[in-house]
Structure 1
Amino acid sequence: MQTLPKERRYETLSYLPPLSDAQITRQIEYTLKQGFYPAIEFNEDSDPAIHYWTLWKLPLFNARTPQEVLSEVQACRSSYPGSFIRVVAFDNIKQCQVQSFIVHKPNSARY
């Protein structure tokens, strides 16, 4: 058994190595197949105890493919390259957030 190195942990899946583009796409596919509504949030710091995340546009209620979500992630990344960016998913039945994971960490992020 191996102990994980001491570093800052982020959202869901943070104990794994950084997700590849293909893995991010599969997570978004899962989100859409479950009927959840994806949204994109960003912040200069990833510590949720201190900072609130800012919503990038409105949640993507009409998104049907992962590419639609990823294009918004790219637009957010272009506008805020020094920010952490995450994809969150909302369940409209339970009226709550059910998933979130980091899709972009700035180069200057300290772990």
Structure 2
Amino acid sequence: MKTLPKERRYETLSYLPPLTDAQIEKQISYILKMGYIPAVEFNETSDPEVYYWTMWKLPLFKANSTREVLDEVQACRSEYPNCFVRVVGFDNVKQCQILSFIVHKPGGSSYRY
């Protein structure tokens, strides 16, 4: 077993190697399967002290496929290439965010979709 290199860790799944396109699709599929509402958010920094990210458009209330969510992620990345981009899943019954994970780091991982 090898120790990971020392680097800044972000959120859920950040201790794993960068997610592949297929893994991102599976995470988004899980969000949709559980009935959570996906949304895309972005921010210039991912400091732990920053609690509020800017939402890209509105939550994707009517999203039925991973492709719809991935298209919005790609649009956000294109518009704000120097920002962190994450996908979040909201539970409309509990009225809270259930999960989030970063899908784009500026100058870092580049996902293709």
TM-score (norm 2): 0.90
Report SS of the residue matched to 2:62: coil
2: CA distance, partners of 1:105 / 1:70: 16
Matched, 1:19 2:37: no
Q: Distance in 2 between matches of 1:31 and 1:60?
A: 11
> 1:75 matched to which residue of 2?
75
Give the aligned CA root-mean-square deviation in angstroms: 1.6
In the alignment, what sits opposite 2:93? 93
Shift of 1:91: 0.5
What amino acid is the match of 1:36?
Y
Offset, 1:82: 0.5
Structure 1 residue runs of 5 or longer lacking an equivalent are: none
- Structure 1 residues 28-37 or 5-14, which shifts more? 5-14
Aligned partners of 2:2, 2:81: CA distance in 1, in Å? 34
Matches within 5 A, 1:1-111: 1-50=1-50, 52-107=52-107
Tell which deviates more after alignment, 54-63 or 2-11.
Answer: 2-11
Q: Provide the identity percentage.
A: 71
Q: Which amino acid aligns with 1:62?
A: K
CA positional deviation for 1:104: 0.4
Deviation per residue, 1:12-49 (Å, 9 max, x gap)? 10000000111100000000000000000001111131
Q: CA deviation at 1:108?
A: 6.4
What is the CA distance between 1:5 and its match in structure 2?
A: 2.5
The one-letter code matched in structure 2 to 1:32 is L
The runs of 5 or more residues in structure 2 that have no matched partner are: none
